Structure 1
Amino acid sequence: MMSDVSARRSGALAALVGLSLLGGCVDVPHPFRHDGSGMQPPTARLAVPVSTASGTDEAGAQAWQHAMVEAMLAQSVPAMGQPVKPGDWWLKMTTTAQDDTVIPTYAVMTPKGEERGHMSGAAVPAAQWQAADGQAETRSAQDVAPGVAELLTGIQAAQMQKDPNSLKNRPAHVYFAGVQGAPGDGDHALARAFTAAFPDAHEDLRHAATGADYTVRCTVVLNDAVTTTSTTPQQHIVLTWKVLDAQGTEAGAATQIHDIAAHSLDSRWGDVAVAAADEAAGAVRQIITRYSGRENAPLAADGTLPTPGSAPTPAPAASTAPAAPAQP
């Protein structure tokens, strides 16, 4: 026999059938962006100078540089085709001759000129590499760009792992700014339910935005203008849970949307708030995880890509200590 609590939860879910997360705008971590996690990223950009590799003529080198910049921008890496400037991380592109082929190699270099990671592209027939149309260089750049982006992500993860204040080594400090726009007691009920559901070993809640890594706020919009075939009057409700990083940049948003019986939430939300907040809490955790890169595998010691399936860093223990301000 179903318990009273289970019956109430079942009724709440039935009242909110279809109220589900629509994926939101969850950002993939950007390897060279400060994410408010207390770590300093490699740089604000990745310089891509013209290659001086032997066997690549000037026109081919220019085409290679242009193609590589475009390919990295497509991977959300802020690459710039320019000579290396002080403080730049940069991509060194070289070639190795092997029999009648050319093997392009891509190395991520630190501002001190030290190689931090590398990968090789597929071998290309020498005649094609030296062709004036630059198509071989363009294809190589497009093929390796995802791998180079993974190298950069691995570099960031390795830095985070060494930084005791990064989100690999402590929970994210989150400020919940509350709920606005819900009918009835929805603002209060949703806020109370989210506050209860959200904290875990990876996140804790703070009472102020100062020192928080992320801020979460929810807005609710109720619309009476619903087109439906139902004989019961309907309303359209949308809950948007927005996550902002410490700099105020949107890290992602999760949206819950459904048509409900008109005025069914005009007074008490009850377990409907609990069901919605439980789902939203999981989505917000996912946004923070993906945006911060805290589960990304660090680059291997030999500077190659992380082994596929590498285990993520163990979850940090919950902390009640005040959050440290993010580094500039």
Structure 2
Amino acid sequence: MRFCSACLAVLLLLAGCGDLPQPFRGNPGRQARSLAIPLAIRLAVPPPPQALLDEANARRLAEAMTAALQGEEVPAIAIDRPLPLDWQLLITAESAGNVVRPRFELVNADGRSQGVHEGAGVPIRAWAEPTPPMLAQVAAQATPGLTRLLLSVQAARASATPGAISSGPPRVRFLPVRGAPGDGAQALAARMREFMSNLGFVVQDAAEGAQYGLTAEVRITAPADNAQVVDLQWIVTRRDGEELGRVVQVNEVPAGRLNRFWGDIAYVAAEQASGGVQTIIRNATTPQLSAPAQEIPAAGGAPPPPGLR
């Protein structure tokens, strides 16, 4: 069932973060990120037989990938034969034109795919004659996305029901945020990934295995009377591209407030919108009786002020 944007509008007071400074809100730091990794599982990285590499270089890639992950405190090990309770990082590669694109799949101990990360393209000539620095660069480029994926899976499993864990948490492909000035695209994406993971979803960059797509569009009016109107829309789509609904956040901010750093504004926007995104996905998978269109209020249960409708 497709839902119009009016049915799923969330109007957020973006600047409502309180009067006291909150420099650490939504920014737990690197140590907290490391501690969030599921240390109770070991991630095995076997030499990839389908990565368009010979045996020796396949082993070198697995070792480079392991070293890069260990640098982020992920409990990874390069091993030919994973143990029964190991999770695995399966690496493949395929050529597309004049580049080779590596692909990294996270698989749990039962052999179920938990998420996919697509690496950056490498010139086909460099891949055909790989050097240790080139393989180390491939690993270094893939590690941030893989660490983010592992954290998302861990958070989703912690929030999911036993049945959802056994079948694998639902996966959402997050596409880049469009139209946000300053660091808005990065800040909004990072915060939304965190909140969606906490709601039991695995958020990944790759399309493979994802049931839903999520992106955001930001429109900011030209300054007038030292203020600007921010229209932030989170768009949820089905795997076939059909739009399922939008969470809409509209508010007025001081002119130029978002030209550089979004900070707590991105945190609050994602925190408030994630529940609406979850509702859209739930409604898409649950038969709905016809009912009058309704507006989902911002967190706290209070409807938005009439002046913001």
Task: Report TM bin, short chain.
Answer: 0.3 to 0.5
Compute the TM-score of the two structures, normalised by the length of structure 2.
0.44
TM normalised by structure 1 equals 0.42
Query: Which has the larger Rg?
Result: 1
More helix by share: 2
